[in-house]
Structure 1
Amino acid sequence: MTIRLAEPTIPSRRFRTPATPTLFDLSLSENPYPPLPAILAAVTDTLAQANRYPEFRPEELPLTIAEHLGVPSGDVVVGAGATGVAMQILRTLTGGELVTSTPTFDGYPIMAEMAGMPLVPVPLDGQGDQDLKALRRAVTRRTALVVLCRPHNPTGTLLEAAAVRSFLAAVPSRVPVLLDEAYVEFLDQADRLDLHGLLHRHPNLLILRTFSKAYGLAGLRIGYCVGRGELIERIHRQQLPYGIPAAAVAAVRAAYAAEDELQDRVHRITMERDALRMSLRACGIDVHRSHANFLYLPGPGVATALRRAGIKAKSYPDGSARLTVGDPAAGRAVHAALVNLR
């Protein structure tokens, strides 16, 4: 699969046609399932105390996450989703450039501009993978942060564990590296990185995760970052007072207690993802294997065909699209929209 970027075009108003009603919104890589009953009950219970402020500085949520991961609670920073934590990181590291692949998660260019960090975009290679050699070459004395996504957003590709380790060893220790693992729960156990070993060897490493995707809590905005030493201490100073509601703490505790049920949901999503991918490949669409809860469909014409069928997807200037998976009815609609495209 070749990933190409093109200049966006402006449609002519003269020939604009009425918008097609949206039947399925697959643009945000959300979990198609509502929160588990135990999580809903735990969150509802906190509403009786909604007249009270949460903790001034969050302690319960970092401790809960730290105990689950087996790290010290001081090594965990929490915030309003992974995006909120990433913003805390960028504000900590202002004064230099942000190096990342392109295309990437939409939030990084936006947050870099907000933080006053010049963005250094590094194109993906021809297979939709992050080009680690090019990323390393882009690191200079001006680099304040390097971002890797694993799995990558929007292509769903996965960097080999050995390649990540080699990259971290090659990056100067003065340069922080943010490893965005927003979709880590969708990985097979064998594909997951050794969090403890990497953090021990690389004090410049930050690992970013979220409860928005596999856990299905996007609306509660719960994210966290794990790091060590002076770097994570600096990020802690950007913690917003009263920034973590009690509902977030209750939801995370209930989610961890329901791990088996959540894993069953993840399995159902990945099974639907792989089935849709194979059906689209049978239609002649070169869909790369995804390791997340979405598929990247290369253009041209894919985004337009989906839009005409009432399916909202994340679209790209070359006509490609990224769409959320997991809902069988939505999957059937995607297949019907694209079956005659090629």
Structure 2
Amino acid sequence: MTTTEKDTNAAKVPASGIRPRNVMGKLPRYTAGKPPAVIEGLQSYKLSSNENPLPPLPAVLDAISNWQDFNRYPDPLSTALRTELAAFLDVPAEDIVTGAGSLGALNQLLSTFAGQDENGVSDEVIYPWRSFEAYPISVGLSGADSVQVPLQADGTHDLDAMAAAVTERTRVILLCTPNNPTGPALTSSQVEDFLAKVPGDVLVVIDEAYEDFVRDPEAVNGIEMYRKHSNVVVLRTFSKGAGLAGLRVGYSVSHPQVTQHLRVSAVPFAVSQLAETAAVASLRHHGELVERIQGLVEERARVVTGLEGLGWWIPEAQGNFVWLALGENTPEFAALAEQQALAVRAFGTEGIRVTIGEPEANTRFLALCATYTKGPRVS
């Protein structure tokens, strides 16, 4: 039977009437950063997914190069990684729960603590917006309602408005620091003041996917907040600084009254043996990693200085990306970048996030900006 005949026969199967949950029609679709266009005579660069442009450390590649036990399930508790992290962070291993990236760890949290009560009334999850675009999808799939609090004009969280949005239905609050896609980080004093306004039975999740790139001495450290507040959960990942995005390994850190439930809802075997081995090797060679990350931080500073030299306004950049508040000019700039073999991440008519990439890519991006007359100007 030919492929065409198979397709024709499949088309004759009557519709079954299968329908997804009602929430599926309300959820946005996650849009991954697209690859760069191929332009003759130009090296293409992907600056659309906040990926580390550098491969994992040589020691990490060595550690996983001869792995063969793929016929065996991984340790469901990721004991080796949790033990290594416990020593690295100086926290009990029992307070660490691994997941498939920090997003996997977040989904475990939401499925455990946010959904609907026995009467079908939905819980609420508060988070800033715009922020990580998976938030509304993950919250909706959990069965909870999203409460999106608009960012302030400078791209920072409006913490007063977020505190004011808390109701009896609030179960979880998400803080994204540095905020993706705008870039600013929360300070310790801001988070302390915010926590003082939040009921102790509401989980406050500090999402620190980009903490490796933060250089503001006043920036919040999620682990310090977790040590002082029993309702704080910290999310971190090996995807960004360690360059292990393709291996999907992250974790949450929280107190036993949280982790005891997370271990029930955690997806079994979410972290592969390969990912665990790579993450452990990254921690054991953290000094080398810091040097590599510092190079990206210096490139970030070069890009920010270049943009400011053009008179462009850029929110404080504490991640491995910069935010261009281009508004209605967003599609036009994205198209121009594509013509230069640069893939950037456009968000409708709000703005563009540009990952700090290879030096050559950053230089070409700055050259494009120098020719663009509609950039976000300092008022």
TM-score, normalised with respect to structure 2: 0.81
Percent of pairs identical after alignment? 33
Q: Report what 1:37 is aligned to.
A: 58
Measure the CA separation in 2 of the matches of 1:98 and 1:298.
Answer: 26
8 Å CA contact 2:210–2:240 kept in 1: the answer is: yes
Q: Report what 1:12 is aligned to.
A: none
Matched residue of 2:265: which SS? Answer: coil
Matches within 5 A, 1:81-160: 81-93=101-113, 94-95=115-116, 96-160=123-187
2:46 is aligned with what amino acid?
D
Q: Report what 2:296 is aligned to.
A: 269
8 Å CA contact 1:88–1:235 kept in 2: the answer is: yes
Measure the CA separation in 2 of the matches of 1:50 and 1:177.
Answer: 37
1:62 is aligned with what amino acid?
R
8 Å CA contact 1:270–1:326 kept in 2: the answer is: no
8 Å CA contact 1:304–1:319 kept in 2: the answer is: no
Q: Relative contact order: is structure 1 or structure 2 higher (C-alpha 8 Å, sep ≥ 6)?
A: 1
Q: Report what 2:94 is aligned to.
A: 74
CA change 1:43–1:268 in 2 (3 A) is same
> How far is 1:211 from its partner?
0.3
> How far is 1:150 from its partner?
1.1
Matched residue of 2:54: which SS? Answer: coil
TM-score, normalised with respect to structure 1: 0.90
Q: Report what 2:17 is aligned to.
A: none
Structure 1 residue 61 corresponds to structure 2 residue 92: no
Structure 1 residue 257 corresponds to structure 2 residue 284: yes
8 Å CA contact 2:78–2:276 kept in 1: the answer is: no
CA change 1:197–1:254 in 2 (3 A) is closer
Matches within 5 A, 1:243-322: 243-300=270-327, 301=329, 302-322=333-353
Structure 1 residue 219 corresponds to structure 2 residue 246: yes
Matched residue of 1:312: which SS? Answer: strand
Structure 1 residue 27 corresponds to structure 2 residue 48: yes
Structure 1, unaligned runs of 5 or more: 1-18
1:228 aligned to which of 251, 255, 269: 255
Measure the CA separation in 2 of the matches of 1:251 and 1:205.
Answer: 27
RMSD, aligned α-carbons: 1.8
Matched residue pairs, number?
323
Structure 2, unaligned runs of 5 or more: 1-35, 117-122, 374-379
Matches within 5 A, 1:174-213: 174-188=201-215, 190-195=217-222, 197-213=224-240
Matched residue of 1:313: which SS? Answer: strand
Residues 28-48 of structure 1: CA deviation (Å, up to 9, x unaligned): 100000111100011123x22
Instruction: Give the structure with higher Rg (CA).
Output: 2
8 Å CA contact 2:186–2:220 kept in 1: the answer is: no
> How far is 1:244 from its partner?
2.0
